[in-house]
Structure 1
Amino acid sequence: MIRPLSIALGLCAGPTQAANFYFCWLGDNGYSMTGEMTVNETALNKPIVTARDVTQFAIAGFRDGQQIGNWDLATKQAGDTWVLHFDPATNSFLTGDALPSGFSQGWNADGTAEDCGAGRFGFNSGNQAQDFCLDGVWIEESGVDPQTTFLVSPVPVDPQCRVYVPTS
């Protein structure tokens, strides 16, 4: 009796909701990044949201306000680095080498930031720095301290990490 009731309630429940987050990162020498991710709402109760909990994700890299590359889950290729750790209690990404792997964020760039691929873009937060990979090359001059925090916002942000204020 309980099982049919559970199944019926499950069928009546609406689709799982999701939470959207927008973020911005300021690197060195005019480099910056904006991004957006959608997280399954049930994952927001976990201590750490990981890549498995993210249903949509996209980043765009900039130099002096001009876009230099982008990467997203929709175009993710086999072998692309995809490591993400987000603390939903503080709305913050883990940074630096907070994990035994040596890097806490790998968005088409591993701890060496040299594996994003020809003609492609990636970002890494590791034990030495947070930095970009562009066209399969580590962009060392983009790097900042590995513990640098990101701006995380409920509304979109621009490459200078300014929050878009809705107008009426």
Structure 2
Amino acid sequence: MKLTHCAAAAIALTALLFSLPAKAVPISYDISWTGENGYSMTGEFSFDDGNPRKRIKNAGDLLTFSFEGFLNGKSFGSVNLADGLFGTLNFNFDSFFEAFVVGGPSESRGGQLWNTSRQGADCPMPGFGFVSGNLLQGFCIDGVLDPRSTTIPIEESTLTATRRTTTVAVPEPGTLALMGLGLIGLAGVARRRSR
């Protein structure tokens, strides 16, 4: 009878060890965009890989998000979600296909509005934002959509996200648990034979 209790306890312990939730880790991406007339942008964002959504849609889905605008390689501004400076944020990223969703109206699930609103016509003064709508992509700079930065047509979008690869050490807690379970089993068999 004691062996049955020991076996049941060992099985329960093993099941408990293997049922512990896996720890989620952040997935990070680098952002790149090239507009017209020497305008470009770089940035980064990350989200929790335990996020069950296939589409990352807003600030609540993101762990980090920042971007920086350039004109002919010279920075003219940067925005960081951690600084709390954001106006409107409509962020649409498909984590399954690892691509930004573009081509729809900027306020919709098919567009992007980063630190700007109303089709990119309203951003901080001074400051800047990025818009990707159904007609164009470009910067809002100091409260005005800058036509010099826009990429038209949208089919020529260069807005990309490149996943950063990180090596994570994989712990093996199950190996020790199985070895311990085997030793308990051997001890039980040896004890039973000695009677």
User: Normalized against structure 2, the TM-score is what?
Assistant: 0.66
Gaps of 5+ in 2: 1-15, 166-195
8 Å CA contact 2:55, 2:92 repeated in 1:
yes
What is the alpha-carbon distance in structure 1 between the residues aligned to residue 163 and residue 24 of structure 2?
Answer: 19
Other-structure match for 2:163: 154
Are residues 112 and 89 of structure 1, via their aligned partners in 2, closer, same or farther at CA, if it must alter by over 3 Å? same
- Does residue 118 of structure 2 align to residue 141 of structure 1? no
After superposition, give the CA deviation of every residue in 1:129-149 in whole Å (9 maximum; x if it has no partner): 101011111111111122314
What is the alpha-carbon distance in structure 1 between the residues aligned to residue 107 and residue 159 of structure 2?
Answer: 21
Are residues 99 and 108 of structure 1, via their aligned partners in 2, closer, same or farther at CA, if it must alter by over 3 Å? closer
Other-structure match for 2:179: none
Other-structure match for 1:120: 127
SS of residue in 2 equivalent to 1:89: coil
Bigger shift: residues 26-35 or 101-110 = 101-110
Shift of 1:96: 2.3
After superposition, give the CA deviation of every residue in 1:42-90 in whole Å (9 maximum; x if it has no partner): 22x4231111211110000001000011111112347x11111101122
Other-structure match for 1:162: none
8 Å CA contact 1:22, 1:35 repeated in 2:
yes
8 Å CA contact 1:102, 1:126 repeated in 2:
no
Are residues 75 and 58 of structure 1, via their aligned partners in 2, closer, same or farther at CA, if it must alter by over 3 Å? same
8 Å CA contact 2:122, 2:144 repeated in 1:
yes
- Of structures 1 and 2, the one with the larger relative CO (CA 8 A, separation 6+) is 1
The letter for the 2-side match of 1:137 is V
RMSD of equivalent CA atoms: 2.6
Other-structure match for 2:35: 27
Other-structure match for 1:55: 63
8 Å CA contact 1:49, 1:85 repeated in 2:
yes
Other-structure match for 1:166: none
8 Å CA contact 2:138, 2:149 repeated in 1:
yes
Gaps of 5+ in 1: 1-7, 157-168
Bigger shift: residues 143-152 or 125-134 = 143-152
8 Å CA contact 2:27, 2:164 repeated in 1:
no
Higher helix residue share: 2
The letter for the 2-side match of 1:48 is R
Shift of 1:103: 5.8
User: How do residues 1-168 of structure 1 correspond to structure 2 at under 5 angstroms?
Assistant: 16-43=24-51, 45-51=52-58, 52-77=60-85, 80-97=87-104, 101=108, 104-144=111-151, 145-147=153-155, 148-155=157-164
